[in-house]
Amino acid sequence: MGHDFDALYAAHFTSLTAQLYAYLGDRQEAQDVTQEAFCRALARWRDVSAYDDPVAWVRRVAWNLATSHFRRLKVAAAFRRRHREEQVPAPSPDRVALFAALRTLSPQPRQAVVLHYLADQSVADIAVSMQVSTGTVKSWLHRARTALAGQLQPAPDAEEARDA
């Protein structure tokens, strides 16, 4: 059984990949599609090996996979055309400083801060989602605020800047 499959694979993998490469225009995708078709043949080898032309079955599966790949690409392209990403402005210096300061926190307090202050979740909701007590969340938030306050200085307003 395995020997027949191995022979079929050795005899046809390269030529089928070349056909699909010409169709898809992407060598890696052609190899992936061909490999997937042969994997499906191996999974059904008892039935496939009984066909008059097993490679025809593998070829049909490979071409179906390639066609599905093109359909997915067309759908994705249509989606991108309809939903063009807006230009997002660069983050402000304050944002950059905040993100840098957040990275200094350990993971759990950082997650609690993000959920509470950026996602507007309550302490109780955070406790449930992180599977800890509300007291633990409050403690994390307090320690995180203290740590962040030491790293983040308020921006001087225009009057203070002139006086300096």
**Which residue ranges form the domains of the chain, and what is each CATH number?**
2-82 (1.10.1740), 93-155 (1.10.10.10)
Task: Please report, in tens digits, the pLDDT of each residue of the chain (164 residues total).
Answer: 556 999 999 999 999 999 999 888 889 999 999 999 999 999 999 999 999 999 999 999 999 999 898 888 888 778 777 777 667 778 888 888 888 888 888 889 988 988 898 888 999 999 998 999 999 999 999 999 999 988 887 666 645 555 55
SS3 133: coil
pLDDT value of residue 150: 85
Report the pLDDT value the prediction gives residue 30, as an integer from 0 to 100: 93
Read off the pTM.
0.49
Q: What is the per-residue pLDDT for 18?
A: 93
Q: Cα(49)–Cα(62) distance, rounded to whole angstroms?
A: 17
CA dist 86 → 5, 18, 92, 128 (Å): 51, 39, 17, 35
Largest CA distance in the chain: 91
For residue 3, the model assigns a pLDDT of: 63
Q: What pLDDT does residue 15 have?
A: 93
